[in-house]
Chain A
Amino acid sequence: MIEASPRVPDAGRGIRRIRVPQKLRNLELFLLVVACGINAFAVVLVQLGAIGTVDSTVITLCASLSVLVLGMHFALRYVAPNADPFILPVASILNGIGIAVIYHIDLINGDTGWDSTAIRQVVWSAIALICAIAVVVIIRNHRVLQRYTYVFMFAAFVLLLLPMLPGVGQEIFGARVWIHIGPFSFQPGEIAKILLAIFFAGFLVQRRDTLSLVGRKILGVRFPRARDLGPILVIWALSMSVIVFQRDLGTALLYFGLFVVMLYVATGRTSWILLGGGLFLAGAIIASQTLTYVNDRFSAWLDPFSQKNYGEDGGSFQLVQGIFGLANGGLIGTGLGRGRPDITPLGQSDFIISSIGEELGLAGIFAILCLYLLLIARGLRISFAGHDDFGRLLGVGLSFVIALQCFVVIGGVTRVIPLTGLTTPFLASGGSSLMANWIIVALLLRLSDTVRNQPRLVI
C-alpha cells in the first residue's frame, strides 16, 4: 500500500489513496493477458476453419503484437502508473481481431511472406505501438502541447497539403490522400486529425469566451455574432476543399465534425451544432449536385440494388457485396475462417466490418461495437474528470475522432449514411490509420494519468 503520494505533502490523518496505482496496473495486466489469449484463439480458429491444421504462423502473428502491448503495459508502470487500465486491452483486442480476419483473406488469396497483408499489418502494429510508447515516455505532461498550438496547426495544414504535391502525392481509388515515398505509402491526413484536435483544443480554450457569451437570441437559441463565425467558416472551407480537391468525403466530415463538436463542448451552445450541421448539409448537397463521384455515392446509397447502380463503374457493387456478406453471417456468423470475405472488394480495409460480420455474425459485430463504445466512453470519462480546460477539450476531441470514424465507416457499410472511404479504427489494414489511433490511445493514457494523480482526501 502506498500511503500518500510523494507529490502531495502529508496532511495529517485521513489521507490515503484509494485504487492505488499498482492495483490499476494489475487489472490492466489481467485484461491484457485475456485480450492476447482471445487474439491467439481468433488466429487458431481462422487456421482450423480455412486450412484445417494449426501451424507456426499463429506465433508470428500473435507473439509480436502481444509482446509489444505488454511492453507498453510495463512502460506505463513506470511513466504513467495512474493511467486508465481499460483503454490498452480494448485497443489490443480490436487490433488482434482485425489481424485475424485480414489473415483469413490472405489465406484465401494465397498471399504469403511480404505479400501478406496480415504480416504487414503486424509490422505496422509494431511500429504504431513503438510510436505510442514513445509518446507516453516523451510527453510527460499534456499541457506542453498547449504551448505549440499554432505549430500544430501549421503542421496539420502541411500534412493535408502533402498529397496534392506532384511527385510524392498519389491517387488511389479516386481519392488523392496518399503520399508515396520509395516502397512506403502513407496517409498524412490520419496524423493531421490528431494535430488538428490539439490545435482546436488550444485555440478554443483561448477564444471560447467571445464565442459563447455574445449574440442574439432567436427562438430561444442564442446565435453567435456574424464576426464570430470566422473560425467555423474557415474550417468549413477547408473541409469543402478536401471534398473538391482530394475527393474524400469521409475525411472532410471527420475534420468538420471534430471542430463543431469541440466548439460545442467548449461553449455549451446548441446553436453551433445547428449552424455546423446546416453548413455541412448545404455543402454536401451542393457537392452531390456538382461532383460526379459524390453523386455516385449518393445514388449507390439510396438505391444500391438497382441493376444500373450495381453494374456501373464506381456504383454499388462493393456495398451490395458487403451487405450480402453480413446477411451470410446471420446471427452467429459462418465461423472464423469459414466465410468468403474475399468476395467483397477491400474486405480487409474499408469493408472489414462486413468481413467480421460475416464470420462472427450479429453477436460478434455487437461485441465489437461494445468494445468501441467502452473505448470512447473511457475517453470521454477521462476528459470529464480532467482538471484543466485544455486537457478536457483535447480528451473530448481525441475520443470523438474515434467515435466519428466508427460512425462514418460502419454507417457507410451498413447503409445508414453514404459510403465514404475512412478506415475502421484498429481493425482495418493500413499503417497510417493504426499509427494515428495508437497515438490517440497514448495521449488518452497520458491525460488519464494526470487526471487520476490525486485523490487527496477520502471522507
Chain B
Amino acid sequence: MSELTLLILQFAFLALLWIFVFVVVYAMRSDLFGRRVKKLPDAQAAGAAGFPTAAPAAAVSTNAPPRQQAPVPQSKVPTFTPLEGSSAGTHPRATTGNASRLVITAGTKSGTEIPLGTMPLTIGRSTDSSVVIRDDYTSTHHARLMVWNEEWMLQDLDSTNGTFLDGKRVTSPVNVPLNTPIKIGATSFELRR
C-alpha cells in the first residue's frame, strides 16, 4: 500500500463520515427547520386573517348559502353575551367525563371529529403532533390540550400567531368550556359531549 493510496482512503473515510452526518441532518430537517408551509387557497387565507367565513358543518346545512358574507355561526352566539367571562358560566368546563369528541368547526377539514380520550393532544405543524395543521399561521409546536385533574386545559406553546379561546388570546393554561371555539390560524375547533 503506497502512502498516496492510504491518504486517499483516509480522505474517503472522513468524507463518508461527514456524508453520514449530513444524511442524518437532511432526514431530520423538518424537525430542525420546521415543516414546509402548505399554501392556502386565497379565500381561506382571507378568512384566517379577517373574520371567520366557514360556519360549522351543521350550520351550513341549515341556513348558510355558500358565498354569504360573514355568516353568524351558531356556535359563536355565546361570544356576544355582554358579561365578561360569562361563557364559562353558560358552558360547563370540559372534563374527561363530559367531553367525548373534538369537532373542527372552521377550516379545510370543518366537520371532522376526532374522539377524545384521556391522553393529551398536541397541535402544530410538526408531524409528531396529534393534530397536524399545516398552514401559514400555525407554529411547529403550537398548542397543547391537556388534562389536569380530569379537566381539559388549553396551553399555548409560545406560538407566533397565538391561540384564541372564544376570541381571547391564551397566555397561560386555561380551562376549556364545552362548545367554545378554539381558533388556531384558519382552523377553529370545539370540544363537545
Contact = CB atoms under 8 A, between A and B. Distances in A.
Nearest to B126: A385
Interface in B49-80: none
A387 B126 CA distance: 14
A41 B13 contact: yes
A413 B48 CA distance: 55
A18 B16 CA distance: 30
A34 B107 contact: no
B160 to A, nearest CB: 17
A144 interface: no
A457 B132 contact: yes
Interface stretch (B22-30, B162-170, B175-183): B22-30
A9 B115 CA distance: 8
A457 B128 contact: no
Contacts of A336: 10, 13
Contacts of A335: 6-7, 9-10
B134 interface: yes
Nearest to A9: B115
Interface residues of B, number: 44
B174 interface: no
A333 interface: yes
B128 A452 contact: yes
A381 B31 contact: yes
A35 B20 contact: yes
A11 interface: yes
Given A8-B114, A93-B20, A335-B6, 14 more contacts: A11-B115, A12-B112, A15-B112, A49-B6, A367-B14, A374-B21, A374-B28, A385-B128, A387-B119, A455-B127, A455-B132, A457-B132, A459-B133, A459-B134
Interface of B: 1, 6-7, 9-11, 13-14, 16-18, 20-21, 23-25, 27-28, 31, 101, 104, 107-109, 112-115, 119-122, 126-135, 141, 187
Interface of A: 8-9, 11-15, 18-19, 27, 31, 34-35, 38, 41-42, 45, 48-49, 52, 85-86, 89-90, 93, 332-333, 335-336, 338, 360-361, 363-364, 367, 370-371, 374, 378, 381, 384-385, 387-388, 451-452, 454-459
11 contacts: A18-B127, A31-B20, A38-B17, A332-B14, A336-B10, A338-B6, A363-B18, A364-B14, A385-B128, A458-B134, A459-B187
